Amino acid sequence: MIQVSNLSKTYNGTTVLKIDNLEIKKGESLGLVGNNGAGKTTFFSLLLDLIQPSTGSIINNDVQVNVSEAWKPFTASFLDESFLIGYLTPEEYFYFIGDLRGQNKADVDALLAKHEEFFNGEILKNKKYLRDLSKGNQKKVGIIATLIGNPEVIILDEPFANLDPSTVNRLKKVIKELSENPDITILVSSHDLQHTVDVCNRIVALNKGELVKDIHTSEETLKELETFFAV
């Protein structure tokens, strides 16, 4: 599904990301972990063609992302609140994204109804602009918006940050349900090892821009990661 080859990103002579080879198969839920500055957001930015690679390429479902935009119809992402449109209400934003992805109002309403528990009464019908919502509630909107239009690839950067414990548990339920669909590939980055191991069947660890671990999730995974990052 996603193939990374000889990928690097350099700023002012300093290499912040260098991944020689990485393949993410269709249907995998992959957790990207690492300390601040490890290269997680840089990798996602390259994957979404927000920045250009210094060397190498990323192929998403046979499309080289920095050459063609043909990957966009089947890929959805939420990196941070800059992806939102602050002067819209949540409903207006959801319908806007739906229109971009060929979904009518009824399609969007059906998706929102499905995730009513995740919203916990804090998002819809409150007549608030997105800019006036808390960081956590903005994140709820951004995450659910990625699901509009049935994307095949979903990319979430630090989805658990700024969420209260109850919302984290609801989000885990959402991600686990998505990961059970063999047609959906999910990439999640997080500082929180426990949450990432809970929802992903494969973990890739970055350290100073390089891939240092690539393991399939098991009962030992969390302990292995905690030991590694404790050094």
Is residue 98 situated within a structural domain? no
Nearest to 140 by CA among 172, 118, 169: 118
Residue 7 C-alpha from the chain's centroid: 19
pLDDT (0 to 100) of residue 162 = 84
Q: How many domains does the chain have?
A: 1
Is residue 143 situated within a structural domain? no
Amino acid code (one letter) for 205: A
Q: Once rounded to an integer, what is the mean pLDDT over residues 38-59?
A: 95
Q: Once rounded to an integer, what is the mean pLDDT over residues 10-16?
A: 91
pTM for this predicted structure: 0.92
Is residue 210 situated within a structural domain? yes
Is residue 186 situated within a structural domain? yes
pLDDT in tens, 154-171: 999 999 988 889 999 999
pLDDT (0 to 100) of residue 19 = 96
Could you tell me the residue range of the domain that residue 162 belongs to?
2-82+151-229
- Phi/psi for 145 (5° steps) reads -60, -30
Residue 211 pLDDT > 70, yes or no? Answer: yes
**How far apart, in whole angstroms, are the C-alpha atoms of residue 17 and residue 189?**
15
Would you say the C-alpha torsion 60, 61, 64, 66 has a positive or negative sign? negative
The CATH number that applies at residue 157 is 3.40.50.300
pLDDT (0 to 100) of residue 191 = 87
pLDDT in tens, 81-125: 888 999 999 999 999 999 999 999 999 999 999 999 999 888 998
Per-chain mean pLDDT for the chain: 93
- For tokens 């739906």, what's the residue? 98
**How far apart, in whole angstroms, are the C-alpha atoms of residue 72 and residue 153?**
10
pLDDT (0 to 100) of residue 46 = 96
Is residue 204 situated within a structural domain? yes
Residue 231 pLDDT > 80, yes or no? Answer: no
Is residue 88 situated within a structural domain? no
